[in-house]
Amino acid sequence: MKHPGEQHKLEELIQETEQIMPEPASAREAERIVAYAWALYVFADPPVYNLDPDEGKVTKFPLSSFVEVAQGYICTAFDEIEKVQGSRDPAAKAFREVMG
């Protein structure tokens, strides 16, 4: 069962990412970066959350847990996407500075 606030938290995270992205930024670009950040979180090695009850405490709401630590993953996602696209413009530098 999905946590009722998770979708809202994810939408807010996408909007926040869109607002701090270099111009011109679209909701689709922000969503792509957040989706990639989520993938980095989900496939982290070692895992950053636990779904196996046999291995200790289970993370009941992984998306909510991700939102709490998303900034670092978003910054990494942006950097990796930027490397693939080959973009090194001043707006991208400003984005990295804002994200910390």
pLDDT in tens, the chain (100 residues): 355 567 788 899 999 998 887 766 678 888 989 999 999 998 998 888 777 777 667 677 778 888 888 999 999 998 888 777 655 566 666 666 666 5
Q: For the chain, what is the domain count? A: 1
Structure confidence at residue 1 (pLDDT): 39
| Domain carrying residue 43 | 6-99
Structure confidence at residue 40 (pLDDT): 94
In contact, 59 and 65? CB cutoff 8 Å? yes
The answer as to whether 62 is a domain residue is yes
Task: Kindly give the interhelix angle for 6-20 and 62-85, rounded to the nearest 10 degrees.
Answer: 30
In contact, 73 and 57? CB cutoff 8 Å? no
Q: Which residue has the tokens 């993370």?
A: 59
Structure confidence at residue 24 (pLDDT): 65
